[in-house]
Amino acid sequence: MSQRIIIDTDPGVDDAIALWLALASPELDVLGVTVVAGNVALKDTVRNACKIVALSGKTTPVFAGAPGPLVREQVYGKYAHIGAFKNELVPDSDLQPQAEHAVDFLVRTLRQAAEDNSPITVCAIGPMTNIALALGMHPDVARGIKHIVTMSCAFTALGHRVPWAEFNVYADPHAAEKVFNSGVPLIIMPLDMTFQALISKDDIEALKQDGGLPGESVAALLNAFDRSDLNRFGREGGPVHDATTLAWLLQPGLFEGQSARVGVEISGKTAGYTYADFWNKLATPPNATVMQKVDEYGFFSLMRRIFSRYGNHPDDVQA
């Protein structure tokens, strides 16, 4: 039976890869894509989400959500000035978002899941504003969530937008705090782990050759927005952070993690800073499993196998 999931996202290059992984996987039943401002403004994240879903060949509904954070001033990602993906990177489509607001969709769907005693996994790969609003509107939403798998936080690694914070948390630390304290089990993919899996030129070329139209777009996006940093990573290649969340859903054995109490600083100069209490220094129960290691070869092998489905190649190895 397929895992029922909702993907909350702010596309974004790695978000696009994560979405295409999910939409090509029959192991996952993507009920909806809820969109938030983050990497770029909401009108552009929604446009990108629609183009990504359309290129997959699926009709998964897209819902526009929060245009900005709960409290703090708006901040955008590194490539915010680019806006929506150019059509030569991701072809245009006439797919439009649903009329229903993303938060209303989350509340309706997750409350029904709670009532049915059939909780849904939420994959959070953008600022957590939509999810925090849903939890705030109706606390029983939490009972409808099996767990939240989130690409967020930085513990031993420095941040990638500011030195002290991972972007998704930095963009809305108050929303992250609400989610972290919701009682919903968290599976966290922090920068500490995502920096261990760097996509190579060979992997990008394989996706381009074997991954159909989505594979071609991934290659175009990664070549247009190069995320390699030889000084920081010490070798060639760049991370594809958000894709690790879907990889964990599909093949959790690729990852190793440890339970911890995770918290976030919501004010002051270091707003967005996150900590993980692995050794129970605070005498508070864990709220998360923090992934610390990833099988890099296995991760990119999984990605190549799944994208080959878009290229209509036989999938000889099950994901």
Q: Any idea which residues carry the catalytic annotation?
A: 241
Task: Return the H-helix or E-strand segment holding 257.
Answer: strand 255-264
Q: If you count DSSP H runs as helices and E runs as strands, how many of each does the chain have, helices first? A: 12, 11
Q: What is the Cα–Cα distance from 218 to 201, expressed in whole angstroms?
A: 12
Residue 29: DSSP 8-state: E
- The three-class DSSP label of residue 245 is helix
Q: What is the DSSP string of 52-67?
A: HHHHHT----EEE--S
143 is written with which tokens? 């009972």
Q: What is the Cα–Cα distance from 55 to 260, expressed in whole angstroms?
A: 38
Q: What is the Cα–Cα distance from 127 to 167, expressed in whole angstroms?
A: 8
Residue type, 15: D
Give, in order, the Cα–Cα distances in Å from 253 to each of 8, 122, 147, 152, 319: 24, 19, 17, 20, 11
Q: What is the Cα–Cα distance from 136 to 101, expressed in whole angstroms?
A: 15
Task: Return the H-helix or E-strand segment holding 173.
Answer: helix 173-180
Four-point Cα dihedral 176, 125, 260, 250, nearest 10: 150
Q: What is the Cα–Cα distance from 147 to 121, expressed in whole angstroms?
A: 5
- The residue whose two tokens read 């031993």 is 156
Angle at 212 between CA 208 and CA 214, to 5 degrees: 80
Of 64, 14, 61, nearest to 39 by C-alpha is 14
Q: What is the Cα–Cα distance from 112 to 90, expressed in whole angstroms?
A: 35
